[in-house]
Amino acid sequence: MKKKLAAAATALVAALLVTSCAQPQAATSNATDFPTKPMNMVISFAAGGSTDVGARLIAKGLEDKLGKPVVVENKAGAGGQVGNSALVAAKGDGYTVGTVSLAGTLLSYLDPDRGASYKGDSFTPVALYVQDPQVFVVSPDSPYKSLEELVTAAKAAPGKLRVATSGVATQDHVAKVLFEEMSGAQFAPVHFSEGAAPAATAFLGKNVEILITNVGDVKEMVANNQARVLGVASAERNDFLPDAPTFKEQGFDFELASSRGFVVPAGTPDDVVAKISDAIGDIMDDEETIQKLRDMNLTPAFLGHTEFKTLWDETENSFSSVLERVKADL
């Protein structure tokens, strides 16, 4: 199962343009006895959300695999920025592990207006465990049955069709701008700074024609015939939406997902990073864990520390190239 998950996740890595970012070489140590005391896990979002419940599942697995308690602490705020700041301030010894939603973390330090106290090389990626692909959805009674029909209509009336996102300079917003540049279409953005929930409410109330969000957020809408998916931004069809075509199937080479994983502060010894990463890999090889993640509407996708670092760098490069255009798209 782990090999299958790694192959699925690696497909996204290959889809992005590569410009690797330099990262200081971590120190080495003897990790044979690690850990010798309880570990801490900083979750950068509120308790009860999908990031929290998924991370807590992995935390329990780490306790079982490494033989020491993992004390979980939620440090929510500023789209993950509060928790990220707390993590990078911790000692780089492996005893403090943090969660990241990759897009949010990248955008927080790439945008100087956010005033983040960290940058990319403040983190050492440990493991990816979930990728929730982006989707473009319309109402079931929408006249648009495919991405091609949507693009044709948008080109005929530039800036008329309204698209709901979870806020300015979020991954949903990045997806809009990247797709516009790829397709030549132009949509009218409607940003909801409070997040995905109010964007979905506006869509369900038919105040916008299109919603850009993630698979996990629309699975129930589709099941209840409240939404029709025009495209899933993944290499292959998603198990939660097997009838929904990918962008690639429709001629658009577009892949983007909400990538969730674990990091430690920069400077953490390589062998300690590898030990934690391997433990998470073993957890992700467990069918019961996989099913629990699926029950949370999360799409499991494991990458070890090396592959996660590659994904991190490639996504950072892709986002860097489009950030100014995203910020101007109000």
CATH code for the domain defined by 2-27+38-132+256-327: 3.40.190.150
Sequence-distant (6+) residues with CB within 8 A of 112 are none
Give the pLDDT score at 79: 81
Distance between start and end Cα atoms, the chain: 42
Do 190 and 106 meet the contact criterion of CB atoms below 8 Å apart? no
Domain boundaries of the chain, sorted by first residue: 2-27+38-132+256-327, 134-250
Sequence-distant (6+) residues with CB within 8 A of 239 are 294, 299
Give the pLDDT score at 32: 81
* Ordered mean pLDDT values, 10 residues apiece, the chain (330 residues): 54 43 48 93 90 94 97 91 96 97 93 94 98 96 98 98 92 95 96 85 97 93 97 95 97 94 98 98 97 93 97 94 90
Give the pLDDT score at 45: 87
Name the superfamily (CATH) of residues 134-250.
Periplasmic binding protein-like II (3.40.190.10)
Give the pLDDT score at 16: 43
Give the pLDDT score at 26: 46
Sequence-distant (6+) residues with CB within 8 A of 288 are none
Give the pLDDT score at 260: 96
Q: Where are the alpha helices (DSSP H) in the chain?
A: 2-15, 50-66, 81-88, 102-110, 147-156, 171-183, 196-204, 215-223, 270-283, 287-295, 305-327
Sequence-distant (6+) residues with CB within 8 A of 306 are none
Cα separation, 27 vs 46, in Å, equals 32
Cα separation, 270 vs 293, in Å, equals 28
DSSP secondary structure string for all residues of 260-327: EEEEEETT--HHHHHHHHHHHHHHTT-HHHHHHHHHTT--EEEE-HHHHHHHHHHHHHHHHHHHHHHH
218: exposed, middle or buried (Cβ count in 10 Å: 0-12, 13-18, 19+): buried
Q: Which helix (H) or strand (E) segment is 127 a member of?
A: strand 123-138
Give the pLDDT score at 2: 59
50 Rama sector, left if φ>0, alpha if ψ -120 to 50, beta otherwise: alpha
Do 246 and 252 meet the contact criterion of CB atoms below 8 Å apart? no
Can 2-27+38-132+256-327 and 134-250 be said to share one CATH topology? yes
